[in-house]
Amino acid sequence: MSMDPLAFIYDRCASRGATARSQLDMRLTACRAYADRMRWVLAGPGWIDRGADALATQRPELAEVLAGIQTAAGPREVICLVHDWGRLATDDTHRLRLQERIVDAGGYTVTTFGESDRASARAVLVGRGA
């Protein structure tokens, strides 16, 4: 019997104010709706790095997501769900490094637009003998 995938919703929000909060709420709602359509189990309400943490290399909330992925990986698929790739980082190099960290933890990343790095994550894991 296989278990439904477990999804960790992640976002970041450096801006403050009503518009930023509204946009963040819209993205989180889209993530929850996507997970529901995919029949994924949500690990929690979502992890959000805010302010300076949203722009930093080391992000406390993303670190929590990585720890959760590492704990849950193995018996089930584990996903870091983001609204779009920019929710990880707008800089491609930084984003790819963060995606590598998610793969290293045992998961992969999916956007609400259906984009995924699942194939590359599997290739990395197969190369490691997993």
| Cβ–Cβ under 8 Å, residues 88 and 102 | no
Position 3 scores a pLDDT of 87
How many folded domains does the chain comprise? 1
Average pLDDT over residues 18-32: 97
Position 75 scores a pLDDT of 83
Position 126 scores a pLDDT of 47
The CATH number for 42's domain is 3.40.50.1390
Residue with tokens 């793969």: 103
Would 108 be classed as within a structural domain? Answer: yes
Interaxial angle between packed helices 118-127 and 92-105, expressed in degrees from 0 to 180 and rounded to the nearest 10? 60
The model's pTM? 0.90
Position 121 scores a pLDDT of 62
122 pLDDT exceeds 70?
no
Would 65 be classed as within a structural domain? Answer: yes
- The sign of the CA dihedral 50, 62, 115, 112 is negative
118 or 123: which leads in pLDDT? 118
Residue 130 CA to residue 128 CA, distance in Å, equals 6
Would 1 be classed as within a structural domain? Answer: no
Distances, alpha carbon 39 to alpha carbons 2, 72, 101, 120, in Å:
13, 17, 25, 23
Average pLDDT, the chain: 92
Q: Which domain holds residue 44?
A: 6-127
Average pLDDT over residues 15-28: 96
Per residue in 67-110, pLDDT (tens digit) is 999 999 988 999 999 999 999 999 999 999 999 999 999 999 99
125 pLDDT exceeds 70?
no
19 pLDDT exceeds 90?
yes
